[in-house]
Amino acid sequence: MPGLTVLLVAICVMVLLLVGGLWIAVAVGWGGLIALYPILGGKTLTLFGLTSWDTSTSFVLVAIPLFVFMGELISSGGLVQRLYSGVSKAISGLPGGLVQTNLIACTIFAACSGSSLASAATMGRVAYPEQ
């Protein structure tokens, strides 16, 4: 099967799955499997499974939910709101105060928590009502 035909079939499958209401990750995964099958043959599912397993057992990715959970605990305790309001009062005279407050508060929280992803999730939740 020519490469362009495989590409068009994979794109059509992805679009049909998305229109059908399937999640984006699942639709893209099925499109990728369909596109790889003519190239790799029977090894496609083995490669897909091994790649998924290696990615999901990565030490960095396994720790992310725990950092986000820690950020949620700190946020529910009120510490992040106090940090945000304190930084906001300290730099209220600068132009672009909301952006500057977000940058400084995210930097401080990321340094304390050790995770920029947890910082973005937690500070986004706190900063959104401040708009």
Q: Which one of 14, 40, 57 terminates a domain?
A: 57
Q: What is the pLDDT along the chain (131 residues), one digit of tens a residue?
A: 677 888 898 899 999 999 999 999 999 989 888 888 888 888 888 888 888 888 878 777 777 787 778 777 877 888 878 887 888 888 878 888 778 888 888 888 888 777 777 778 777 777 776 65
Q: Three-state SS across 82-128?
A: HHHHHHHHHCCCCCCHHHHHHHHHHHHHHHHHCCHHHHHHHHHHHHH
Q: How many domains does the chain have?
A: 2
For residue 75, the SS3 value is helix
Does one domain contain both 107 and 88?
Answer: yes
Does one domain contain both 64 and 121?
Answer: yes
Does one domain contain both 72 and 102?
Answer: yes
pLDDT at position 131 is: 56
pLDDT at position 94 is: 80
Does one domain contain both 110 and 126?
Answer: yes
Write down the pTM of the prediction. 0.49
Does one domain contain both 76 and 45?
Answer: no
